[in-house]
Every structure is written in structure tokens, then in C-alpha cells.
Structure 1
Amino acid sequence: MVLMNRKTKIVATIGPATESKKMLTKIINTGVNVCRINFSHGSHKDHKKVIDNIREINNEQGLFTAILADLQGPKIRVGKIKDNGVELVNGNEIIITSEECIGDASKVYISYQNFPKDVAAGEFILLDDGKLKLEIKSTNNKDEVIAIVRHGGILSSNKGVNLPNTKISLPCLTPKDLVDLEFALQMNIAWIGLSFVRNAQDIIMLKNLISKANSNAKVIAKIEKPEAIKDIDEIIEATDAIMVARGDLGVEIPFQEVPLAQKMIVKKSMKASKPVIIATQMMESMIDNITPSRAEVNDVANAVMDGADAVMLSGETSVGNYPVAVIDAINKIIMDVETDDSLYHFEYPPNEKIIDRYITNSVCFNSCRLAQRINAKGIVTMTFSGYTAFKIASFRPKAGIFVFTGNQSILNMLSLVWGVEVFLYNKFVSTDHTIADIKYILKKDGALNKNDLLINIASMPIAEKGQSNMMKLSYIE
């Protein structure tokens, strides 16, 4: 098994530039930990081929690359536009209709049927990632809205629509999402991304569907709406992980508010032991260029310094000209930033009111504190659910986090979590025997050396695979 020195994980979106087995092998070997499949594009047949290729690579190389199925969500778009582009001129009026038509400078179709009922005069409509801005003048509350062009430009077919002031009545899961979800669960995908989350109820609804399908898939709540920022504590509690999706978020809320929102979400997620991904425009100039801009280098570095579990690439790896070079570049940035001691050793004392997890939380917390004091080189946790892996990672120890589990269903899932290295292990005989065996494996694989200090976390009796209640400190012999 090839061990990784980098703590922060890399998520790469798969597309035409990277969907072949040859390219998937290259990007995974260059540093990708999680492959994102964007259900906004491609067919199930295309996605299955990518999934099968990733799993073949994992089996051939003994890797645990995770897969993230990212559902499209209720993305609102304009329809087809005459000649695929018309100019909207400042001050002109335009009709936006829920009746399908070929759009022009006077009238365009919107894919949101309740749009005339949900909007009000004075609210804004943003088109094409905020490049064009309209203000609503009036609505007939049935099928037409009259808007005034406040910031014009060329509007082409199928461009996205953002409604920053409007309470949208669309369901969080569209009919397309439900079909895509069923496919993703049939394929045993580890992570499901839910787009345009507005409140915790959206997460609970998705989790109920996953549970009914008898799946262990985990949910990533994508934060890209102002309502989600307001309900962030409840969303973090309900979800398994968070993605700060800065593209739509930066259109829906004032762009200058995104950096502090990002930092706030990362801190809250770490405190709740929930992995957090920073996404969108991380290295966007590398779609066409062989090197990133200096601003992008700083953006990636700041995400790592904020404490993100993972950074995500979108167009850079799905359609970009240099997908391997961008993985190599982001890997170098992360590795350099991770030499800074300020990234490590966060301390969130366990809450004694959470009785059912208080012992396990205390063992994890104090293991990380001890690892810092004695400069331990590794913390080993034996887990069936993955809970202790999430918990230990949230404290950001400098020591390696080695997770041994007999539960094959969580191996790939844990590849998203900060600092975690996973091992398939199911020889839980006795505590002493298991610890000795694990120390031998870590030394043999080159993860640890003779005389390194190691902390083992386990549950006693070990065969029952209960909650962690024991910590042991020893040297590698």
C-alpha cells in the first residue's frame, strides 16, 4: 500500500478530459483521493464506465479512492435563445415566462414553473453566474414576469438563473435527482452531494431515501444558498459532510461575504467533526494554462490553513487541458502549506452532556493531546462505523491517523477525511495481539520506524466491536 504524506485531500471532477481509465490512473496516482461525478452532465452509461474504471484501479493498486455522486438539484435555467445569443440592453424591459418558447431580447423562458407566483416586484434576477442583472417590475402571478435590465450583456441558451431575494418553492430533489440517486445507490457510491440545500429538512429527506434503499451512503450538504447560511448549525448537525460551493454562493450572497462565510463554515464543521470541502474556481486558470495564478495559489493555501478536509477541482479536471498538471500543482501547494505548525492541534473538549459518546470522545480528544505532548508519530483507531476516524481527524493531530477496519463499506468513504489512511483489517483476536499485529503492519509498510511512539485506540473487549474506551501508548519495536 502506498502511504500519503499529505493530510488535506483532493477531490477531482471527472469529465471528458479524465474519464478514460488511462487518465483516471494518472490523476489518482498524482494525488486524487475522491473522484466527483457531476450528474448535471453525462448519461448513467457514461457514469457507470467511470465508476467501474475507478474500482478497477483501486483493486489493481490496493487503493481506496472514494466516489462522490453530485446531484444536480433544482438548478434554474433559461431556455433556448434565438441564434444561441441575444443582447439585453440596460433599461429595456423583458418578459420572463414559464411557458416554453424560443427566447429573444423581449421574452425568455425560465425552467421554474412557479417563478411568477414566488417572486415580487423589486427582487433581482441574476443570469449566467451574475454576469447579467434584472430587476422585477411586476408579475401576473400566473405565467409571466416583467423585468427591467439593470446590467445587460449577451444571454445565450440554457444559462443558469439565481434568485438571491426569492424564497424558492422548488423541492430539494427534482425528478431527475431521484432517478440519479437510485442509480448512485445501486452503484454503492460512498458520498452523495445534495445541491442547493436550504435547511436541515432537505438533508433529512435525502437520508430517509438512502435509508429506505438500505444504503450506507453518506451525505454532503452543498452550501450555496443564503438560506443555508442562516440554518448552518442545523444543517451541519443533520449532514455527514459539508461543501462550501462558492460558485453559486458568491452569486446568491454579496461576493465580499464569501471569505468569512467560508471560514465560519469550516470552523463549525471541524468542531462538529464533519468533513468540509472547499470548492469552485480553486485553480480555474489552469483549464487553459500550465501554471496557476498567484491569487489561486493563495486561495488554495488559505483553504488549507482554514482547516478544510479537502479542496475540490471542477472544470480544471473535467474539461481542462492540463488535468494531471493541476493535480500536481495543487498537491505541491498543499504539501508546502502543511509544513506550517499552525494547521495542527485544535482542541474541542468533549461535551459531557452527550453521554452516549462521552467516553469515546474523551479517549479521542486526550489521545490527540497526548500525541502532541510526546510527539507521537501515529494514532491508530480500530473502528467499524468510522466515528473515531472523523473525531480524531477533527482535532487535526500532526501524528499520522491510521484507521484499521473490517467494514469494507467505509474504506473508500474515509478517503475524504483529513489525514486519514485506511487499512482493511479483520483479525480482531485479542487487544494485545491486534495491537502487536497492527504495529508490525505499519512498520512493514514504512509508515512508522523503530522507536517511534504510537497511540492505539480500541474498544475492550475488542471482539465486541463496541465504542472506543481504551488508549495504549507504546514504542514501535
Structure 2
Amino acid sequence: MRRTRIVATIGPASCDEESLRTMIKAGLDVARLNYSHGDDEWRAEVAERIRRIAKEDGIHIGIMADLPGPKLRLGRFEGTHHLSQGEIISLRCGEAEGYADSSSLPVEYGGLAKEIRPGDPVLLSDGLIQLEVEECNENIVRCKIIEGGLITERKGINVPGTIVKLPAVGSRDEEALRHAIGLDVEFIAVSYVRSKEDVSPARRILDECNSKAWIVSKIEHPSALESLDGIIEVSDAVMVARGDLGVEIPPEEVPMAQDRIVKAARKRGLPVIVATQMLESMVTNPRPTRAEVADIANAIRHGATAVMLSAETASGTYPVDSLLTMLRVTRRADLEWDGLTKPTDAKLLLTRAVANAGVTLAETSSADRILVATKHGNAARLVAAHSTKIPITAVTNNPSVARKVMLLPGVDAVVCEELERGSSTMCLAIKTIFENGRLKQNDRVVAISGSPKAMSGATSTARLYRVTEDGSVDGDE
């Protein structure tokens, strides 16, 4: 089983039936829908298409909704415009939509002119275009173009060193979040998290809507690095969003920041996704660079549990080839991965202790597979956090949880009925995965479950079974 998970952004280049089916059957684990682009009708259609194809092929696929967040963006405008070095450009603040040319652009956020000062840098399009503020007059920011280039609508704006007073989850984010909850997505990616308080609005709305979606906090601002432990404490997973992070801090600092984020998340037992420009050259080329391949492999070797494709699959020329390339690289990198880590600071102390005991039993008995019963995915997350090379199967009666655990390293899922006794449920799960080829006669299986019921009971038991010729078990070994 592949340990490292793959998240791919679905966009115009990959949302058609053929591309989605090819990607899902090839090994896509989580499909990302970016709420910064497109409209809700399109997202609903794509989500339904993903669910249908996955069901037809008998595959569990998670869906991640990525909220726009308090990110500064240009407004909407027509065409592509060239900004020339040395020229002056005016940023018109508070215009969500308007005219644009090489000397004037609309900016959504109306407060920018009040929060920025002459001499401050302004970076557009992930830092590819650099401006310097010369003058601020009410809603107009006049800038000198230091590094020019082509610009289109809705590109991101970064102002390094300036704390923009935008709410973590504004009205647009709340609207997007409620729409995503209506689609029953498994993951909510909260953008531009700067402190643990920034996660609270999303958590509150999820609770109000009775949604069990996991929150993925995106680390892409210097303030988040200062508040990292607190953010991880209130998150279900984290993402190293290197695009904005690499603009907000010096690029040479990004590898060390990435390593720190990965280690902190793994210590807490959380999945951690490394994202942005992993196969950027494949947006326009059919083959990756050697540096990109090394980047992916090194992220995995340093502990990343998932890697993400963005423009490569959303708008690139080779979306399917990009996914297949990522699959080959992750499979090869997984072979070199070694070492058992323990989530020493994870929450759910009793579940963590039983997960540790179950993994230890599996390792010492040379078990062929670990089964872990889970109601919401937490028990499976803590078992997966130990990074064992033994394949893990999450046992659940909830299809949404089966899709959710697709973000966990080295985990697949089986959906089965929860019986009155925990051991009966686990024996039913063993029989089910024996019949679909994931177990064979004489395999040893460690089953971690709750009591008295496997999924809804408190995780408390680890048993070692041997599989018989018909998929039943001989009993505890």
C-alpha cells in the first residue's frame, strides 16, 4: 500500500469525466476544490461527478474545500496586462470588479490604503511582480513597478511585514464554508491562519451545522510560525502552503520552516500536506525537472504524509500526467522511508495508548495488516501517526469516514456493519477484506477496537488473529 497521500486540485483542465475517472482509478486520494476560483454551481457539479465515479469504481475519495481566506486579491477585470519596470501603477482599493490596464488595477480590499506605508513592498502573483509603495491617498495606492510582468484578474497580493486587518473567516468564507458543508466534504482548508483564534469561526460553523469535516489549517503567514503549536492544537491536519509563505518570508527560509511545521504536526499525530509548485514545470511541459522530483522525495523523507498538486492538475496542459508522475515519485520515495515515529504530544491519551500498544503488537508479531475500528477517524489517525510500514485498514460504518481516512498515510478503509460485540465486528471486517483480496490464508492481523462496540465504544482492545482458509479467524493468538 502507498504510504504518502496525493491531493490534487480539480479545475477546468481536470473536471471532465474522462480525466477524473483516470485520476481516481490511478490513485488520487483527495480532490481539492478551490473556492477562490469558479462558482458554486460548478463545484457542486464536480463534487457530484467525483462521488459518482468513485462509487462506480468502488473507491473511497475525499473532497477538500479550500476557503478563500483573508488573502488580498486583485479584483475581477478583463484581459491580460503587462506591467513595465519603472512605470507607475495605481491600485484602486475597494473595487471587487472594474477596468484595468498597465497603469491601474482594482483591489478587492478597501482598507489596504490605510494599512500600508510609502516604501512598503507589494508583491503580485506569488511574488513574480514586485511593486514599491510611493503614495497612499484614501482609496488609491500609487506604486513604482520594480519587477514587471503579465497580470490577470484575481491574482494574489502579498504585503510582507504588514498585518492586514481582515477577519480569518469573513462573510465570503462563511458563505463558501456553508456551501461546502452542503456538499458533505471531508476536509475544510482554512486559508491564511495566523493564530489558533483564526480557526475558531470555522469550527463554530461546522459544529452549528453538525458537520464532522476535518479542519486543515494552511500555514502561509509569518505569524502562523510564531503561533504554530497553538494552531496545531486546534486543527485536524495542517498544510505547508509554500506559495504565499515563500513570498511572506525570504525564500531561503522556506525549507527550514517546512521542516519545522512537518515535525510539529507529526509530533501531535496530525497529517501534514506539503503544497505549491511541486511539479510546476508540468503546467506546460510533459516531464518534471530533476529538482521537482527531488523536492517531492525530500518532503516525504522528512515526514510529510501528503503532497499536493495545484495548477498542475487544475489548469495545466498535462493534468493526468502530473498525477501519474506524482504517483511514481511517491511510490519510489516510500520505499526509502524508514523509522517508527510516535505522536508523543497527541490528544486522546487513552486512544493513543491503545494505538501504540496495537502497533507494537503488530511490529513484534510481524503482522500482515492492522485493522482499527473508528467512528470519526481519530483512532485511525493515531495508529497511522506511528508511521508503521504495515498496511492499515480503517473499519467504519460511515462512508464519509472511509473517505476521510484517505488523507492518512498508509491507510485504506472498509465499510461494514457495527455488531453488538467489538470482536464480532472486527471478524466481519476481516472476512470482508479477505474476500476482496487484501488478506489471504495464514495472514496475521492485529485488530484495534472499542468496547463493548467496536466503533462507538471507547478504544480499548488490541487482538492478534490468524486468518483461516475461508476468511474467518482461529481466535486470539
- TM-based fold match above 0.5: yes
Q: Normalised by the size of structure 1, how large is the TM-score?
A: 0.91
Counterpart amino acid of residue 134 in structure 1: L
Cα separation, partners in 2 of 1:193 and 1:88, compared to 1, 3 Å: same
Counterpart amino acid of residue 459 in structure 1: G
Cα separation, partners in 2 of 1:80 and 1:202, compared to 1, 3 Å: closer
Counterpart amino acid of residue 327 in structure 1: L
Shift of 1:402: 0.9
Shift of 1:43: 1.8
**C-alpha distance in 1, partners of 2:147/2:388?**
49
Cα separation, partners in 2 of 1:376 and 1:341, compared to 1, 3 Å: farther
Gaps of 5+ in 1: none
Seq. identity, % = 35
Gaps of 5+ in 2: 469-477
The question of 1:78 aligning with 2:74 is answered: yes
**C-alpha distance in 1, partners of 2:467/2:158?**
56
Counterpart amino acid of residue 346 in structure 1: T
Cα separation, partners in 2 of 1:476 and 1:254, compared to 1, 3 Å: same
The question of 1:87 aligning with 2:83 is answered: yes
Cα separation, partners in 2 of 1:425 and 1:158, compared to 1, 3 Å: closer
Corresponding residue for residue 288 of structure 2: 292
Greater than 6 Å deviation, 4+ residue runs: 80-83
**C-alpha distance in 2, partners of 1:196/1:383?**
31
Corresponding residue for residue 364 of structure 2: 373
Shift of 1:285: 1.5
The question of 1:452 aligning with 2:443 is answered: yes
Shift of 1:93: 5.0
**C-alpha distance in 2, partners of 1:327/1:84?**
29
Counterpart amino acid of residue 412 in structure 1: R
Corresponding residue for residue 205 of structure 2: 209
Cα separation, partners in 2 of 1:86 and 1:138, compared to 1, 3 Å: same
SS at match of 2:278: coil
The one-character-per-residue Cα deviations of 1:366-409 (angstroms, maximum 9, x if unpaired) are 22233233322211111112111110111101111111111333
Q: Are the equivalent residues in 2 in contact too, given 1:371–1:397 (CA < 8 A)? A: no
Q: Are the equivalent residues in 2 in contact too, given 1:345–1:368 (CA < 8 A)? A: no
**How many positions carry a matched residue from both structures?**
466
**C-alpha distance in 2, partners of 1:143/1:284?**
35
Aligned-residue Cα RMSD (Å) equals 2.3
SS at match of 1:251: helix
Cα separation, partners in 2 of 1:361 and 1:82, compared to 1, 3 Å: closer
The question of 1:98 aligning with 2:89 is answered: no
Shift of 1:105: 5.4
SS at match of 1:469: strand
The one-character-per-residue Cα deviations of 1:182-205 (angstroms, maximum 9, x if unpaired) are 211111111111111121111111
Indicate which of 33, 36, 40 corresponds to 2:32: 36
Shift of 1:87: 3.2
The question of 1:192 aligning with 2:188 is answered: yes
Cα separation, partners in 2 of 1:272 and 1:463, compared to 1, 3 Å: closer
Shift of 1:168: 0.5
Shift of 1:276: 1.2
**C-alpha distance in 2, partners of 1:144/1:309?**
44
Q: Normalised by the size of structure 2, how large is the TM-score?
A: 0.91
**C-alpha distance in 2, partners of 1:70/1:258?**
22
The question of 1:136 aligning with 2:136 is answered: no
Q: Are the equivalent residues in 1 in contact too, given 2:14–2:320 (CA < 8 A)? A: no
The one-character-per-residue Cα deviations of 1:60-100 (angstroms, maximum 9, x if unpaired) are 1222111111112233233578974243433x554434265
The one-character-per-residue Cα deviations of 1:319-350 (angstroms, maximum 9, x if unpaired) are 222222222211111111111242x4113447
The question of 1:320 aligning with 2:311 is answered: no
Q: Are the equivalent residues in 2 in contact too, given 1:382–1:404 (CA < 8 A)? A: yes
Counterpart amino acid of residue 314 in structure 1: S
Corresponding residue for residue 114 of structure 1: 111
Corresponding residue for residue 437 of structure 1: 428
Corresponding residue for residue 52 of structure 1: 48
Shift of 1:157: 4.7
